[in-house]
Amino acid sequence: MRKCGDCTECCTTLKVRIVHGEEYLSKYGDTCKYVMHGKGCSVWDNEKSHFCKLFNCGWLVNEAIPEKFKPNKCGVVIKYEGTDVETSFAKYWCNERDYKNAKKSMKELLKIAPTRETTKNQIIAK
Ligand code: SF4
Ligand code: SF4
């Protein structure tokens, strides 16, 4: 399976954060207070990241999605509701830092990994 590496997109995208648990929202905006930008999570090894470990990131689990669609490169985060990528319900979130390009990526992604729902989210600048 792929690894997050330098990506922290799901820690900075509002709706994904709400899925993880609102208690992690920073008082300054939508970014999780535990994120280390470009490096990962400062609390990954303790129970604070419990809900985050349940997050089923589409790019991580579905290797049919090309590398170029890594969330921090294309601005789109995909969440699968189930573990079977063939049948699972997928949700997409676009960031607003570069919404025009994220939308383009989303169009391509929808052909590879169809979904029934798309949601545009706000994100604060990193
Ligand atoms: S969006 Fe996916 S690849 Fe990026 S940090 Fe989250 S789980 Fe990892
Ligand atoms: S707790 Fe860690 S994995 Fe979860 S959103 Fe915050 S930085 Fe990301």
Confidence class of residue 125 from pLDDT cuts 50, 70 and 90?
very low
The protein residue with its alpha carbon nearest to ligand 2, atom 5, reads: 11
3-state secondary structure of 114: coil
For the residues 36-60, what does the mean pLDDT come to?
85
User: Which residues sit with their C-beta closer than 6 Å to ligand 2?
Assistant: 11, 20, 24, 32, 34-35, 41, 43-44, 48-49, 52
Residues 81 and 88: beta-carbon distance below 8 Å:
yes
3-state secondary structure of 27: coil
Confidence class of residue 50 from pLDDT cuts 50, 70 and 90?
confident
Q: How far apart are CA 49 and CA 59, in angstroms?
A: 19
Q: Is the pLDDT of residue 44 over 70?
A: yes
What is the CA(57)–ligand 1 centre distance, in A? 6
Number of H helices, E strands in the chain: 5, 5
Report residue 105 as tokens: 């990526």
